[in-house]
Amino acid sequence: MPQTDVLIIGSGLAALSAAYYLKNKQVTVLTKSSWVESNSMLAQGGIAAAIGPNDSWQSHYQDTIEAGCFHNQENNVALLVQEGSREILDWVERGMTFDVDENGRLLLSKEGAHHHNRIVHAGGDATGREITQFLYKKVCEKAHIVEDEMAVDLLVDHNQCIGVVTKNKEGKLTTYTADYTIIASGGCGAVYGHTSNTHVITGDGIAMAYRAGAKLSDMEFIQFHPTMLYQNGKCIGLISEAVRGEGAVLKNQLGERFMKEIHELGDLAPRDIVSRAIFDEMKNGNSVYLDITKISQFENRFPTITKMCLDNGINLEKGWIPVAPGMHFLMGGIQTNEHGETNVPHLLAVGEAACTGVHGANRLASNSLLEGLVFGKRVAEFLSTKLTSSYSSYLKESLDQYRGVCNVELPTKEQIQDIMTNYVGILRTQSELEYAVKWFESYQKRNFWDFNVKDFTIEQIERLNMVTIGWIISMSALKRTESRGGHFRKDYPAQNNDFWKQRQVICCKDDIHVGV
């Protein structure tokens, strides 16, 4: 039975940052696919850091909580923006190459809802790929990296997390015991049909933590990115907000710039506002485009986006890219404190899987890679001070008893995505949410307690996880009878101060409850 001091589930930037900073510990990184299959690798725009001459952490802090509709956990936001700037400069010192001007100064670009140019980027629009690869090379030297094994269930003994059971494509189960387990497996983009996330992001880490008794919070807050490349009714990939930061504007097919009248920041308003405006245009029968004609040398500044457009037959000479909003980021997740600790002893979470509250009800652009770096380091520094003893007493349950076959009734991924898109999407209503909750319950209640997930195939486990996450998002959205950030209720379109700072917390041992 493999044993390790610290087990990290996931291979994106938060996972790698934690692995890099863990000192004097044996570290195993587990990922269900190849290590490159993460949302961090797809992140385009960059990393927000208040390092420009007229910028300050206070301004970054203010922009973060305004975009988050004042739902943010303020202490953690202060940690994010203060430690974030230092972190970027440290990575530059370690040799990470961000884009610079002809004098070698870091280029800082602008994105929505930022009042300063503060986005560092790499490879033009390949920031996530560049920094994730850079960290991976460093982590490889010290951690054991296991690919193509899916974490299917946490091991909990005397209420303490002591590791995880994994399954590989051939159906082989393996038990990994660890003194500490960190979930860094990302959010749940694939529960929606239109998403910027990689298809493997089916909410596995969050659902698994829920089954183990971890508290989840803020699950109703879903960020839809306004501009995904849209063709033949499908969202194909992300068109970074940095494109608007460099001067692109949104227009409908008549050439009307509809954002001007909606928000003082126009095309660079917070993402929830821009996404709803585009959604409304489309509902009214209009098509929406990003007009990039004002950006000089677009292909040099945005090589990844240029390639994606050309691969999909978009004529960039004309300068109009068809766009639509798609699920991009989960603001909620496994509830953690500033060290990544959850309510389950020895279980931690970091990155999009976690909810530290830094993003509030709507994440500020380019704060997610920053969160991965800062909180990955915080978790690692916290654990580096702990004694480890390689837990090995978990031998109570033999894995041989699982046959790996189970005729469980679960919906297809497409059915789940249709329900989430049509009933729990950008605009929500009581009746639609009630329908979604009932639909998910018909599977969740039946299957959740009666079977053991270790008997499911990987594909079945993903679908069960998607059902669990869909059900929790729908329930949380139904209970929040106001609109705030990434949660918009047509029947309650205004913010309600009674909900201000109220976090909806859900735990399998409890019903949903509201806490601060």
* Residues that bind ligand SIN in the complex, under the rule CB under 6 A: 43-45, 240-242, 328, 365-366, 368
Contacts of 348 (CB under 8 A, 6+ apart): 180, 181, 182, 183, 336, 339, 340, 341, 342, 379, 383
Q: Which is nearer to ligand SIN, 292 or 365 (CB)?
A: 365
Q: Which is nearer to ligand SIN, 45 or 237 (CB)?
A: 45
CB of 416 to ligand SIN, least distance (A): 23
Tell me the two tokens of residue 89.
């400069």
Q: Could you give the CA distance from residue 286 to residue 176 in angstroms, rounded to a whole number?
A: 53
Beta-strand (E) ranges in 169-233? Answer: 173-183, 216-217, 222-231
Q: Report yes or no: 382 and 340 within 8 Å, Cβ to Cβ.
A: yes
Judge whether 484 counts as a catalytic residue. Answer: no
Closest listed residue to residue 164, CA positions, set 175, 172, 149? 175
Q: Could you give the CA distance from residue 237 to residue 195 in angstroms, rounded to a whole number?
A: 8
**Beta carbons within 10 angstroms of residue 23's beta carbon:** 11
Closest listed residue to residue 507, CA positions, set 363, 293, 334, 255? 334
CB of 115 to ligand SIN, least distance (A): 16
Q: Which is nearer to ligand SIN, 45 or 333 (CB)?
A: 45
CB of 196 to ligand SIN, least distance (A): 8
What does the CA dihedral 256, 261, 262, 267 come to, rounded to 10 degrees?
A: 60
Q: Which is nearer to ligand SIN, 44 or 166 (CB)?
A: 44
Beta-strand (E) ranges in 347-461? Answer: 347-349, 354-355
Burial environment of residue 296 by CB neighbours within 10 A (0 to 12, 13 to 18, 19 or more): exposed
CB of 400 to ligand SIN, least distance (A): 44
CB of 242 to ligand SIN, least distance (A): 5
Tell me the two tokens of residue 323.
């766009």
Q: Which one is catalytic: 244, 271, 463, 484?
A: 271
CB of 59 to ligand SIN, least distance (A): 17
Q: Could you give the CA distance from residue 408 to residue 446 in angstroms, rounded to a whole number?
A: 9
Q: Which is nearer to ligand SIN, 187 or 213 (CB)?
A: 187
Backbone angles phi, psi at 435, to 5 degrees: -60, -45
Q: Could you give the CA distance from residue 406 to residue 431 in angstroms, rounded to a whole number?
A: 34
CA distances from 167 to 41, 160, 387 (A): 24, 22, 29
Burial environment of residue 475 by CB neighbours within 10 A (0 to 12, 13 to 18, 19 or more): buried
CB of 225 to ligand SIN, least distance (A): 6
Q: Which is nearer to ligand SIN, 364 or 416 (CB)?
A: 364
Q: Which is nearer to ligand SIN, 40 or 177 (CB)?
A: 40
Closest listed residue to residue 453, CA positions, set 151, 187, 11? 151
Q: Which residues are catalytic?
A: 271
